[in-house]
């Protein structure tokens, strides 16, 4: 059963008050501070929101599913009056004057914000190690990373330090940490969720999504945050989204699942056999497995890193110390002030990407890198489009490894980039994808798989994930660290 439904039932039957529930979550966060999942804990706001829910219940109101449910928000999504840092020194102490669209929607439903979760600086990384607040630890094994960049959210959900978390996925930052922490994570179609208030990393890839213990939980939150918002010009109007609504518990008999050959090249044995055995489980549930090839798959990684860095170099130009965030103490003139502010404010990985992005956009190299990458992006998108003429969804491993040891990739950024090889194609094509657990490695660290759908087919992904979770509950390994219901 979904945790959101459990909480809703407990609140409605008055087994527990919302104030008590929130108190338990705040205690659990306190007791598990070593995980470093949260950058900011919003205890006072959470208690006030809980009291409001309790008043509604006492007044006999029929509360909605999300009312009173304690949740978290990745610290690159703006929250009015609450510090939002992107885990960067350049934004330390920055307090936004407006709410992100997604948070406004959830707040209207009575959601209780417990705090803002840790991430790789501006979402740049895959281990939540590039944070100016220090790394987040994996609750399954504290010597390992939780994945990233939404590692704080993934660790918090897996450890029971919130019911669900909002994250962002530019190149895998929801699915990969969900995979490393053994939970569900949905990266929606580009244009399904408003990016208003999502602090930009690479605008043509960024998308807000949900990390949760189950597909059912993720689906409830997605339904609320995917409303149309005219403030984001890339948010698609409901009438133009297409995609058929599928019930979460619908039969999956006859659904065609494609396995992409290229995704299994060089994959560690334990990961490929976990995904293949999940494919067999799907067959037993009545689905049909077909094999397809996406030759462009191998280009998705360089395409992503060229375009994402190019967009980042432009987006991060706004941090100049003039309007908000950090400003250097002493300077000679305005140029010196901007230079010193950026030198002090940005971490190494962010600086590397600004330089890479500026390089690929510079006049002598624009055609060779940026333009070529744009052309390839269109080709890979076409290749995926063809798959969905033959199959309903794609099943693939989420990452080519399980959670690595903290610090193991410090000296080799390229090795870290290569770890994104299986998640970035989805962002390059703007498709939706969901991670769900499908096993564990010899050390007990979770293995994840992703289901990739055609544009705006999120409800089918939730359905395919939910049916699998229900039939094979052994893969979702529960940790007993945080709040139990
Ligand atoms: N790991 C990828 C990167 O560093 C993806 C990050 C993300 O999705 N925000 O760019």
Q: CA-CA distance, 446 to 456, in Å (whole number)? A: 28
Instruction: Assess contact for 461 and 226: CB atoms under 8 A.
Output: no
Ligand 1 pocket check for 126: Cβ under 6 Å: yes
Domains in the chain: ranges and CATH: 3-257+385-475 (3.90.1300.10)
**CB neighbour class for 254 (10 Å; exposed up to 12, middle 13-18, buried from 19):** exposed
Question: Could you tell me the two tokens for 212?
Answer: 């949760």
Supply the residue whose CA is at minimum distance from atom 10 of ligand 1.
Answer: 124
What pLDDT, on the 0 to 100 scale, is given for residue 391?
98
Supply the residue whose CA is at minimum distance from atom 2 of ligand 1.
Answer: 171
Chain-centre distance for alpha carbon 309: 19
What pLDDT, on the 0 to 100 scale, is given for residue 1?
73
Ligand 1 pocket check for 124: Cβ under 6 Å: yes
Index of the ligand 1 atom closest to the CA of residue 125: 4
Index of the ligand 1 atom closest to the CA of residue 308: 10
Along the 485 residues of the chain, how does pLDDT read in single tens digits?
A: 799 999 999 999 999 999 999 999 999 999 999 999 999 999 999 999 999 999 999 999 999 999 999 999 999 999 999 999 999 999 988 999 999 999 999 999 999 999 999 999 999 999 999 999 999 999 999 999 999 999 999 999 999 999 999 999 999 999 999 999 999 999 999 999 999 999 999 999 999 999 999 999 999 999 999 999 999 999 999 999 987 899 999 999 999 999 999 999 999 999 999 999 999 999 999 999 999 999 999 899 999 999 999 999 999 999 999 988 999 999 999 999 999 999 999 999 999 999 999 999 999 999 999 999 999 999 999 999 999 999 999 999 999 999 999 999 888 899 999 999 999 999 999 999 999 999 999 999 999 999 999 999 999 999 999 999 999 999 987 888 899 88
Question: Could you tell me the two tokens for 251?
Answer: 């039969």
Beta bridge partners of 259: 291, 395
Q: CA-CA distance, 481 to 32, in Å (whole number)? A: 8
Ligand 1 pocket check for 78: Cβ under 6 Å: no
Scanning 211-294, the segments in alpha helix (DSSP H) are 215-225, 269-284
Ligand 1 pocket check for 419: Cβ under 6 Å: no
CB-CB neighbours of 280 under 10 Å: 10
Q: Residue 305 C-alpha to ligand 1 middle, in angstroms?
A: 9
Ligand 1 pocket check for 308: Cβ under 6 Å: yes
Q: Are strands 256-260 and 288-292 parallel, antiparallel or unpaired?
A: parallel
Q: CA-CA distance, 413 to 444, in Å (whole number)? A: 26
Pocket test for ligand 1, best of 130, 147, 173, 450 (most atoms within 8 A of CB): 173
Q: Residue 227 C-alpha to ligand 1 middle, in angstroms?
A: 25
Q: How far is CA 282 from CA 252, 257, 269, 288, 470, in A?
A: 9, 9, 20, 8, 12
Phi then psi for residue 410, to 5 deg, are -55, -40
Q: Which residues contact 134 (CB under 8 A, 6 or more apart)?
A: 36
Q: Which residues are catalytic?
A: 74, 149, 173
Residue of 445, 449, 442 whose CA lies nearest to 479: 445
Helix (H, G, I), strand (E, B) or coil at 61: coil
Q: How far is CA 244 from CA 165, 222, 241, 455, in A?
A: 26, 16, 9, 10
Index of the ligand 1 atom closest to the CA of residue 170: 8
Pocket test for ligand 1, best of 122, 124, 207 (most atoms within 8 A of CB): 124
Residue with tokens 């094999």: 291
DSSP string, 455-478: TT-HHHHHHHHHHHHHH-GGGSPP
Q: Residue 123 C-alpha to ligand 1 middle, in angstroms?
A: 6
Q: Residue 202 C-alpha to ligand 1 middle, in angstroms?
A: 9
Peptide bond just before 149 cis, omega within 30 deg: yes
Is the pTM above the cut of 0.75?
Answer: yes
């Amino acid at each position: 059963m979904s945790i959101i439904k459990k909480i809703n039932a407990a609140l409605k039957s008055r087994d527990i008050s919302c104030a008590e529930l929130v108190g338990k979550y705040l205690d659990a966060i306190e007791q598990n501070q070593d995980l470093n999942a949260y950058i900011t804990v919003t205890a006072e706001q959470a208690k006030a929101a809980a009291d409001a829910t309790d008043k509604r219940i006492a007044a006999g109101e029929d509360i909605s599913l999300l009312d009173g449910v304690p949740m978290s928000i990745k610290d690159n999504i703006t929250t009015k009056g609450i510090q939002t840092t992107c885990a960067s020194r350049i934004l330390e102490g920055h307090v936004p004057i407006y709410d992100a669209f997604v948070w406004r929607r959830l707040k209207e439903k009575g959601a209780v914000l417990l705090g803002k979760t840790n991430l790789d600086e501006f979402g740049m990384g895959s281990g939540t190690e590039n944070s100016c607040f220090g790394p987040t630890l994996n609750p399954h094994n504290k010597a390992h990373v939780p994945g990233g960049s939404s590692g704080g959210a993934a660790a918090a959900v897996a450890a029971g330090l919130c019911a669900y978390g909002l994250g962002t996925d530019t190149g895998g930052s929801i699915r990969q940490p969900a995979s490393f922490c053994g939970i569900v994570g949905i990266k929606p179609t580009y244009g399904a969720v408003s990016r208003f208030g999502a602090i930009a990393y690479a605008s043509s890839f960024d998308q807000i999504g949900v990390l949760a213990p189950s597909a059912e939980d993720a689906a409830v939150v997605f339904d609320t945050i995917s409303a149309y918002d005219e403030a984001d010009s890339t948010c698609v109007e409901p009438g133009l989204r297409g995609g058929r609504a599928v019930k979460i518990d619908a039969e999956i008999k006859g659904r065609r699942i494609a396995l992409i050959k290229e995704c299994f090249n060089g994959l560690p044995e334990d990961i490929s056999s976990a995904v293949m055995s999940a494919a067999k489980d799907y067959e037993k549930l009545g689905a049909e497995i077909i094999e397809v090839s996406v030759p462009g798959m191998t280009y998705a990684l360089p395409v992503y890193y060229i375009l994402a860095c190019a967009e980042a170099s432009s987006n991060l130009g706004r941090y100049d110390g003039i309007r908000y965030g950090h400003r250097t103490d002493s300077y000679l003139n305005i140029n010196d002030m901007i230079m010193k502010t950026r030198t002090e404010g940005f971490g190494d990985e962010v600086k590397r990407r600004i330089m890479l992005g500026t390089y690929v956009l510079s006049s002598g190299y624009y055609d060779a890198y940026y333009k070529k990458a744009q052309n390839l992006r269109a080709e890979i998108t076409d290749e995926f489009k063809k798959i969905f003429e033959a199959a309903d969804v794609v099943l693939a491993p989420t990452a080519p490894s399980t959670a690595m040891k903290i610090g193991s990739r410090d000296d080799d950024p390229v090795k870290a980039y290569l770890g994104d090889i299986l998640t970035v194609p989805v962002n390059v094509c703007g498709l939706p994808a969901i991670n769900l657990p499908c096993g564990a490695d010899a050390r007990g660290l979770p293995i994840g798989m992703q289901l990739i759908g055609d544009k705006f087919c999120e409800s089918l992904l939730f359905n395919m994930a939910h049916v699998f979770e229900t039939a094979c509950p052994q893969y979702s390994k529960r940790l007993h660290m945080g709040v139990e219901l």
